[in-house]
């Protein structure tokens, strides 16, 4: 089970690249909506891949707070830790 | 201007559409002539994008009821039912809807959008959980936020993913409310309701079904998908709208749950808005009567839907998975969708363009809605315009994928 920060990061990078359908330079500071041009539904769809892989559900209000990849990793770790 | 800076990208897109002279999001009809025809810029247009499923907007009895109600009761109610009182017609419409659904309770709202806002925000509070189908209508998403519940979404029409979501919440306190739709408004597909009901029972959750696009369309008596799937007893709340098959405006929720009426003083979108005017209440009451007593309308609607859906598929268009009054052709990109839409309008056919994020999976759609009021020749004319345009734009083969005579032989 992918629990470490590094494992979650690589999960997020893979899911984002799959969602975008193109290779792209990513870091914790990458802004998911403004930087990558994903609309609100595309973000929620790509988050589902992370949820599946980690067996967590990220509530929509928590997704709405996410701006960067780093935020998403922190949120996923937080929810994973609380289970 | 700074206040609107956040809309700069949207403004750019909107203005570029305006500059073409054909903006699908800013269409104005000079006149509407019937459920299937209108005038735009002095030209007669065939309407294939108005959600007027049973074509009841011009029914003489519906119009007479609206006129009489206006003469007798005035143009508007000027207030909310809670603060300023209900009219007899509001209560009568609620009784008729409850009777139609065989349920004890009904609440009527001033729009279908508000019905979802009012029900979802009141059912699930801060410590409860709403689990939404990912392709839910904007009113379901917005209603979910209004009540401050924890909201998660599951993959569209996927009972296993719903099961996963509920399992993850099993040890979390609070009630769980599942929300799905009968017919989805973008691709016209239906929910696997029997499977969802099994999951709901397994986890002791509640189930809300929004029959906005399936009322008057599906089921033996037109009650919607829950009736068609034979699971009405397991659906705790049915939400619907008056603005599609019933040809008016407004929304409703029916339920058998004890204590339901407390929502009248708990649901803010019900309390803090003006009630429906007498004309609308009377028209919708009569339209419901027509829906109940004229099953031939439903038959005609589905005949038209199947003809148009199969016709587009035979031409080589990629369409939704099942025939329903919502028929969408999947376009390769938004630009092509706009071009297609414009050419159809120039040829005298009105449809809709639907784009992400309103559509699932980032799809650009050219969306049509079929009516019982369409004649067979109108449907065939629309198909021929789709064929011409699709070929001009290189989207479909020069010859139909399935020859009409082969389909006729197979039927």
3-state SS class at B354: strand
Residues A5-81: name the CATH superfamily. ACP-like (1.10.1200.10)
% helix, strand, coil for chain B, step of 5: 45, 15, 35
Contacts of B359 (CB under 8 A, 6+ apart): B186, B365
- Looking at the complex, does the CB of residue A54 fall below 8 Å from at least one CB of chain B? no
Per-chain mean pLDDT for chain A: 89
Pairwise CA distance, residues A77 & B290, whole Å: 56
Question: Model confidence over B191-210: pLDDT tens digits?
Answer: 999 999 999 999 999 999 99
Pairwise CA distance, residues B313 & B81, whole Å: 48
CA distance A68 to chain B (A): 19
Chain A residue with the nearest C-alpha to that of B148: A61
End-to-end CA distance of chain A: 13
Q: How far is CA B117 from CA B145, B175, B316, in A?
A: 9, 18, 39
Task: Categorize the per-residue pLDDT at B402 as very low, low, confident or very high, splitting at 50, 70 and 90.
Answer: confident
Q: What's the mean pLDDT in B313-339?
A: 96
Strand order in the sheet with B176-181: B105-109, B251-255, B237-241, B206-210, B176-181, B129-133, B150-154
Domain boundaries, chain A: 5-81
Contacts of B323 (CB under 8 A, 6+ apart): B188, B302, B305, B306, B309, B310
**Contact check, Cβ <8 Å, B357/A61:** no
Least confident of B8-17, B95-104, B205-214, B312-321: B8-17
Q: Does the pLDDT of residue A1 top 60, yes or no?
A: no
Contacts of B346 (CB under 8 A, 6+ apart): B22
Segment 4-43 of chain A within 8 Å of chain B by CB:
39-42
Question: Model confidence over A7-38: pLDDT tens digits?
Answer: 999 999 999 998 888 888 999 999 998 888 88
Pairwise CA distance, residues B391 & B395, whole Å: 6
Q: Predicted ipTM?
A: 0.91
- Looking at the complex, does the CB of residue B361 fall below 8 Å from at least one CB of chain A? yes
3-state SS class at B202: helix
Return the number of other C-beta atoms located less than 10 Å from residue A50's C-beta: 21
Residues of B with catalytic function: 185, 213, 244
* B188-222 residues labelled b (16+ CB within 10 A) or e (exposed): bbbbbbebbbebbeebebbbbbbbbbbbbbbbeeb
- Residues from chain A that touch B8, judged by Cβ atoms under 8 A, are none
3-state SS class at B195: helix
Q: Does the pLDDT of residue B409 top 90, yes or no?
A: no
- Residues from chain A that touch B168, judged by Cβ atoms under 8 A, are 55-57, 83
Q: What's the mean pLDDT in B160-178?
A: 97
Per-chain mean pLDDT for chain B: 96
CA distance B260 to chain A (A): 27
Q: Note the pLDDT of residue B109.
A: 98
Q: Note the pLDDT of residue B68.
A: 98
3-state SS class at B183: strand
Question: Model confidence over B70-110: pLDDT tens digits?
Answer: 999 999 999 999 999 999 999 999 999 999 999 999 999 99
**Contact check, Cβ <8 Å, B165/A45:** no
Q: What's the mean pLDDT in B266-293?
A: 98
Task: Say if residues B302 and B355 touch (Cβ distance below 8 Å).
Answer: no
- Looking at the complex, does the CB of residue A61 fall below 8 Å from at least one CB of chain B? yes
Pairwise CA distance, residues B379 & B116, whole Å: 33
Task: Categorize the per-residue pLDDT at A83 as very low, low, confident or very high, splitting at 50, 70 and 90.
Answer: very low
Per DSSP, which regions of B91-181 are E strands?
105-109, 129-133, 150-154, 176-181
Q: What's the mean pLDDT in B167-187?
A: 97
Mind listing the domains of chain B with CATH numbers? Answer: 2-51+295-410 (3.90.1150.10), 59-293 (3.40.640.10)
Q: Note the pLDDT of residue A34.
A: 82
Q: Point out the residue among B151, B168, B360 whose CB comes nearest to the CB of A55.
A: B168
Q: Does the pLDDT of residue B404 top 80, yes or no?
A: no
Q: Does the pLDDT of residue B221 top 50, yes or no?
A: yes
Q: Does the pLDDT of residue B403 top 90, yes or no?
A: no
Q: Which residues pair with B107 in a beta bridge?
A: B253
**Contact check, Cβ <8 Å, A41/B151:** no
Pairwise CA distance, residues B302 & B306, whole Å: 6
Q: Note the pLDDT of residue B48.
A: 98
Q: How far is CA A29 from CA A5, A35, B60, B372, in A?
A: 15, 10, 63, 54
**Contact check, Cβ <8 Å, B168/A48:** no
Q: Does the pLDDT of residue B406 top 80, yes or no?
A: no
Chain A residue with the nearest C-alpha to that of B129: A59
């Amino acid at each position: 089970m992918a629990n470490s920060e590094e494992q979650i990061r690589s999960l997020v990078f893979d899911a984002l690249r799959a969602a975008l359908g193109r290779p792209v330079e990513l870091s914790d500071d990458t802004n998911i909506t403004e930087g990558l041009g994903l609309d609100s539904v595309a973000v929620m769809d790509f988050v589902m891949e992370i949820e599946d892989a980690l067996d967590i559900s990220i509530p929509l209000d928590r997704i709405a707070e996410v701006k960067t990849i780093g935020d998403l990793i922190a949120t996923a770790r937080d929810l994973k830790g609380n289970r | 201007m700074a206040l609107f800076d956040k809309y700069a990208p949207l403004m750019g897109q909107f203005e570029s559409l305006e500059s073409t002279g054909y903006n699908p999001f800013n269409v104005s009809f000079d006149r509407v002539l019937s459920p299937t025809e209108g005038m735009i810029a002095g030209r007669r247009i065939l309407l294939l994008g108005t959600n007027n499923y049973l074509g009841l907007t011009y029914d003489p009895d519906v119009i007479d009821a609206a006129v009489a109600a206006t003469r007798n009761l005035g143009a508007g109610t000027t207030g909310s039912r809670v603060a300023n009182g209900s009219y007899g017609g509001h209560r009568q419409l609620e009784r008729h809807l409850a009777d139609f659904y065989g349920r004890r309770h009904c609440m009527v709202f001033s729009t279908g959008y508000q019905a979802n806002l009012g029900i979802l925000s009141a059912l699930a509070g801060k410590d409860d959980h709403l689990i939404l189908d990912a392709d839910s209508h904007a009113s379901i998403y917005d209603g979910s936020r209004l009540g401050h519940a924890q909201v998660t979404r599951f993959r569209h029409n996927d009972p296993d993913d719903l099961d996963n979501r509920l399992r993850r919440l099993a040890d979390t306190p609070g009630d769980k409310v599942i929300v799905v739709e009968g017919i989805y408004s973008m691709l016209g597909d239906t929910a696997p309701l029997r499977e969802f009901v099994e999951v709901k029972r397994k986890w002791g959750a509640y189930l809300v079904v929004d029959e906005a696009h399936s009322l008057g369309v599906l089921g033996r008596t037109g009650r919607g998908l829950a009736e068609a799937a034979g699971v009405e007893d397991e659906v705790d709340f049915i939400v619907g709208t008056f603005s599609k098959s019933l040809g008016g405006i407004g929304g409703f929720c029916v339920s058998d749950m004890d204590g339901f009426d407390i929502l009248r003083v708990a649901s803010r979108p019900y309390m803090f808005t003006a009630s429906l005017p007498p004309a609308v209440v009377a028209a919708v009451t009569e339209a419901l009567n027509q829906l109940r007593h004229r099953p031939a309308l439903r038959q005609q609607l589905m005949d038209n839907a199947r003809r148009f859906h199969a016709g587009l598929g035979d031409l080589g268009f990629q369409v939704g998975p099942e025939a329903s009054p919502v028929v969408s052709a999947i376009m390769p990109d938004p630009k092509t969708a706009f071009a297609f839409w414009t050419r159809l309008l120039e040829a005298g056919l009105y449809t809709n363009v639907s784009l992400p994020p309103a559509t699932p999976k980032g799809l650009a759609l050219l969306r049509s809605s079929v009516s019982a009021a369409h004649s067979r020749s109108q449907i065939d004319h629309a198909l021929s315009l789709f064929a011409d345009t699709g070929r001009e734009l290189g989207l479909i083969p020069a010859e139909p994928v399935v020859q009409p005579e082969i389909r006729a032989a197979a039927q």
